[in-house]
Structure 1
């Protein structure tokens, strides 16, 4: 007796398998197929988790071409899983950055959440602050559950020096979604309370000063953990001592150094001479911070700067350790030599208070004004670290708050603001390690730009600018 024929297996995708196929297409670089599959997932009954994942995927695929559309999908994913910290952060980032000045007409008339926030951002970038505020307030009225709009309105108020109002909005935002808003305060009374508080405690660090380092007219100071010391410190130090034309000592602040980092430092001392170096070593248990330990690595230098100013009593150039000096730095430092502090700002980034002042290049004069600024910055950072809030950008939130609200009742320190093009976004390297950069640049940021990191160890001599780069024959 013949066996009954088995039915052919179904070729129909389940929502889970369709989602997995979309992920695999995205990983392989087939964005068109991935987008089609993600959209098909959203038409089925895959459940909140799979639908949220599909929205995540579409947001990733769209962010480079249509940030507003990416934000719509990020918002949809967050609505499905509102307690997910990654989705909350993704939505916060997109709502913060979308909307250029040229987009006003594009978003005009939209009454959805993303459209209103994008319109507010675009209007701010176009200099139309009052209309921007109306767009943000309309978004808050229509979509009160999307608390991220509070950050947008708070930053607008801070830009207009409505500092108490901004402070209240940041606190409301922090209560709703925590994150970076939780470490952002702009009320002058809050800054005044920090200044009147107990003296800040310094960090526990040893200091080893080379005999000749104390006689140099300038200290170049960089701070990092062991991993960054191995990855970036040799190129950074070499660029300062060989390419910057500065007569300086180099102070290296190592946080939790390991044997490999110590070996790197020993090699630098052997190559360049012990009399050029000041080595600070700090050991601290950061296990309680988890992945936020990187915030401490960024902030630790500010916790010791006021003490170093008093110890050294000479100008300090504090740099991120992933920066390379790509030409003579003396003209840049001369431009800020009559101020208390020189640092970089980027007008187009001022939609965020955290980007009002950058922490990557800081030229510090041994003046009372500079010390008051940095002492209050240290107090601000310690206030939030002591409360278990080591959120990324705490150092720049501190500098912005001190700049905006720290001297309401006294003379503010004098700042020189460096333009953003002191940084190069490009480095072209040939086989001999010679490199070309933008003609305005003083520095190249290896980590921030991504490009060229694999060949940084080969950079040995600057030849000219990108415009001078010879074309292939």
Structure 2
């Protein structure tokens, strides 16, 4: 009986993966590699093993992702997969597990684990050893740069980010932490805003707060009804609602018209922005995330009221006044997660931002706009540009002068669980203020299905 060919084995592995037989799919991929398969067969086997292992052994998954990347070093998807795995690998309790490993994955994982365990000097040694032994791996430059930024070694971090950007681009290409760079942005020409029309409802000026959300036409249809309903019915806020629509289509306009009819047109403010995003291709999503920052400083001056800027896929799941009270004496309230600071892009989140109408808040937002515009104008619409800007401005934007006062919201302002029935009644954590698809990794149900909060998950479990 003839031995199966590499093509036959690979097809059997793909069939097994599609059928949900992960164990057999992994065994077939390992057989391909053990038999010395090369080229597309080895590449496919490494790719599949990385997918299969990521949920059970991230280090092993990273090893296969590294092997796949080495076979196709110019492939942006495999480079991104490897970057993600090596960024998240290594928890505080994993130090002993990776101690003594001399391979690239082991050294980076050890550095990450040591950082999370509070052993920054030993983490730096691990990263530098990885750089010395595996200089072709740009992700290590990024890890070391983030460590330096955490320690406010800002010029050193900046140089490392620049080196990483030269090698592989990505988020490192839009991350700068040198105070001199931020100063040059602040002292440069005024940045361009956006071209938009602005329609303000007759009663919007009487409200003491503006809740502001921005999105494209697809997200407008999918998320605006639920967000607006939650603000009106569940947030406890006396607010105007500003909706910033980027390239709205007829369905998006109908959605907004329906919301105005349901909740009172007088409280709505609608910005309509039309822009050709064809040159950005798949990176248009970065512009959707960043455009609000390009106009926010101007809106703050125009409205002269506090602004609560929210991602459009959020729901307010209870009274927000207690949360906003915690940042009532700061210039900005913004969410952060200390354990995510291995990445500078997660230092400050962009999904919930409470802005008071102070000159210090305006200075922070104006510099954020300058930073974002700098990279957009240079053809670098990299995802997470908005959060790279927030982090850079926070770390390096006010050297030698008083910085704006920030209130840091804990990450558990987001609900980690949602349960929903067929009628759209949902149950969430009682301690959180928001639920979102993105912040909780997708949750069990799409946000647009959630109609009315019925109670807490604790009540459901007890019942």
Range class of TM-score, shorter chain: over 0.9
> Residue in 2 aligned with 1:33?
24
Pick one of 373, 384, 402 that aligns with 1:382.
373
Q: Deviations over 1:388-412 (max 9, x none)?
A: 0000000000000000000002100
**Matched-pair contact (CA < 8 Å) for 2:420–2:445:** no
> Residue in 2 aligned with 1:23?
14
> Residue in 1 aligned with 2:285?
294
Pick one of 432, 448, 451 that aligns with 2:443.
451
Q: What are structure 2's unaligned runs of at least 5 residues?
A: none
* TM-score, L = length of structure 1: 0.96
Pick one of 121, 141, 148 that aligns with 1:157.
148
SS at match of 1:318: strand
Q: Deviations over 1:204-249 (max 9, x none)?
A: 0000100001111000000000111111110000000111010001
Q: Deviations over 1:325-360 (max 9, x none)?
A: 000000000100100000100011000000000000
Larger radius of gyration: 1
Q: Answer yes or no: is 1:285 the counterpart of 2:276.
A: yes
Query: Aligned Cα RMSD in Å?
Result: 1.2
User: For residues 102-251 of structure 1, what are the structure 2 equivalents within 5 Å?
Assistant: 102-251=93-242
**Matched-pair contact (CA < 8 Å) for 2:226–2:447:** no
What is the deviation of 1:433? 3.5
* TM-score, L = length of structure 2: 0.98
SS at match of 1:180: helix
* Separation (CA, whole Å) in 2 of partners of 1:447 and 1:190: 31
> Residue in 1 aligned with 2:400?
409
What is the deviation of 1:31? 0.3
User: For residues 404-443 of structure 1, what are the structure 2 equivalents within 5 Å?
Assistant: 404-443=395-434
* Separation (CA, whole Å) in 1 of partners of 2:285 and 2:358: 30
> Residue in 1 aligned with 2:387?
396
* Separation (CA, whole Å) in 1 of partners of 2:235 and 2:383: 30
SS at match of 1:148: helix
> Residue in 2 aligned with 1:335?
326
Q: Deviations over 1:106-142 (max 9, x none)?
A: 0011111000000000000000000000000000011
Q: Answer yes or no: is 1:311 the counterpart of 2:318.
A: no
> Residue in 1 aligned with 2:338?
347
What is the deviation of 1:425? 1.4
SS at match of 2:188: coil
SS at match of 2:285: helix
SS at match of 1:463: strand
Change (3 A) 1:147 1:458: closer
SS at match of 1:453: coil
**Matched-pair contact (CA < 8 Å) for 1:324–1:446:** no
Further displaced range: 365-374 or 443-452: 443-452
**Matched-pair contact (CA < 8 Å) for 1:21–1:37:** yes
* Separation (CA, whole Å) in 2 of partners of 1:453 and 1:300: 28
What is the deviation of 1:458? 4.0
